Amino acid sequence: MSIIQILFFALSAFAIGSAIMVLVSKNPIHSVLWLILVFFAISGHYILLNAQFLAIVNIIVYAGAIMVLFLFVIMLINVKKDSEPQKQFLVKLLGVVAGGSFLTLLVALVKQTGQIQGRTLLMKDGVIGLIHPLGKALFNEYVVPFEISSVLFLSAMVGAVIIGKK
């Protein structure tokens, strides 16, 4: 087993284990912290795929900004640990069964799909994940969506302030 495979399996186990811990944690703050670990594992996967720009953006935007926002809101509204009424056991069981059957269905579907059988992906070679090619593509072909996303951010900011002000 090569070093890349070892890293892949370690990061995958880390990501899935942390994602399960997000679900089973009773305290929402613990869920946020576990979710940050999931995002770090996914950033590790990006680095493994040589998508360095996305790895950094994932850490800055998701682990840095979005999760801090979640933590702020949780601390602001002061959710007590036992104030969350638990669903009944049956509903929880049905949720897990539904999620498991969804996973089984998709795995069976992937196993049958012919187009991806035996295809491999490039791990550490290739330059498309670096900042230089991505920046060139972003500011040449995708400059209009880039500007539109700034308008989206402005409207989201105004919307958040207006909703939160009342």
Partner 1 sequence: MPIQYYIYLCLALFSIGVTGVLTRRNAIVVFMCIELMLNAVNLLLVAFSKMFHGYALIENATSTTGIDAQIFVFFIMVVAAAEVSVGLAIIVMMYRNTHSVDINFLNRLKN
Q: Write out the binding residues for partner 1, residues 84-123 only, by CB under 8 A.
A: 84-87, 91-92, 94-96, 98-100, 102-103, 106-107, 110, 116, 118-123
When binding is defined by CB under 8 A, the residue of 14, 37, 54, 59 that contacts partner 1 is 54
| Integer Cα distance of 105 and 102 in angstroms | 5
Binders of partner 1 among residues 21 to 40 (CB under 8 A) are 22-23, 28, 31-32, 35, 38-39
When binding is defined by CB under 8 A, the residue of 6, 75, 126, 147 that contacts partner 1 is 126
Q: Does 139 bind partner 1 (CB under 8 A)?
A: no
Q: What is the nearest approach in angstroms of partner 1 to the Cβ of residue 117?
A: 8
Q: Going by C-beta distance under 8 Å and a sequence separation of 6 or more, which residues neighbour residue 71?
A: 29, 32
| Integer Cα distance of 164 and 166 in angstroms | 6
Q: How far is CA 9 from CA 17, 42, 58, 76, 87, in A?
A: 12, 12, 20, 38, 34
Q: Does 75 bind partner 1 (CB under 8 A)?
A: no
Q: What is the nearest approach in angstroms of partner 1 to the Cβ of residue 135?
A: 10
Phi-psi label, residue 142: left if phi above 0, alpha if psi -120 to 50, beta otherwise: alpha
